[in-house]
Amino acid sequence: MSPPHPTQPKSWSKTITSTTTDTTTSTYTVSTDPSLIPLDSLSAAFNSDFIYWSKPLTHSQLQTLVQNSLCLGLYDEQSSLVGFARLITDHITFAYLTDVYVLPSHQGKGLARFMMACLDEIVSGWDEHLRRLLLFTRDEEAAKLYQHTLGAKDVRETGTGKLICMERVGGGNTFEAPDH
């Protein structure tokens, strides 16, 4: 029998008014309830071109990925999954943020900022014991988002000079190693 999940599911809602051609109001919800995540929708996103860092995963692999992570699903008014973020964590001392996306058709509405603000609320509750939240991004705009919403800093700019970032690249890596 597995231990209970250390955090109870939480949810947040945000109403967004768009005035591009006519005024429309949409309500979006972020939830940490893993049972709400439609694995077929997650699979479709992971298999798409805009999530360039991912390779296709089986239904069973996605189920394991969701069960063993703290996931934030972003849902529209029809309860469709339109965004996602995953925190690999022990819920006390360490967290690694990965697989953050908002579908292109829902971008430009502040939804990534909304999702990261929800994540920050969770992680801020761990501050007494949290040693480090890590993430990697190649996108300067995403880096600004993480800095603003999560207080994340580029390790090259922290001034400590003591953090060494290392990696072991596995077969699931979708990035080409630079030529030296």
108, two tokens: 């430009």
Residue 5 lies in a domain: no
What is the residue range of 60's domain? 11-157
d(CA 111, CA 100): 11
- Report the Cα 59 to chain-centroid distance in Å: 19
d(CA 105, CA 82): 8
Predicted local confidence at residue 19, as pLDDT: 72
Predicted local confidence at residue 158, as pLDDT: 66
- Report the Cα 134 to chain-centroid distance in Å: 12
Residues contacting 173, CB < 8 A, separation 6+? none
Quickly state the pLDDT bin for 22 (edges 50, 70, 90). Answer: confident
Residue 67 lies in a domain: yes
Residue 117 lies in a domain: yes
3-state secondary structure of 57: coil
Predicted local confidence at residue 173, as pLDDT: 65
Residue 163 lies in a domain: no
- Report the Cα 29 to chain-centroid distance in Å: 14
Residue 75 lies in a domain: yes
Per the CB < 8 A criterion, the answer to whether 115 and 100 are in contact is yes
Residue 84 lies in a domain: yes
* Strand partners for 57: none
d(CA 83, CA 103): 6
Residue 21 lies in a domain: yes
Dump pLDDT digits (tens) for 83-136.
999 999 999 999 999 999 999 999 999 999 999 999 999 999 997 899 989 998
Amino acid at position 128, single letter: E
Per the CB < 8 A criterion, the answer to whether 93 and 77 are in contact is no
CATH of residue 116's domain is 3.40.630.30
75, two tokens: 């849902």
Lowest mean pLDDT among 32-36, 77-81, 96-100, 153-157: 153-157
Q: For the chain, what is the domain count? A: 1
Residue 169 lies in a domain: no
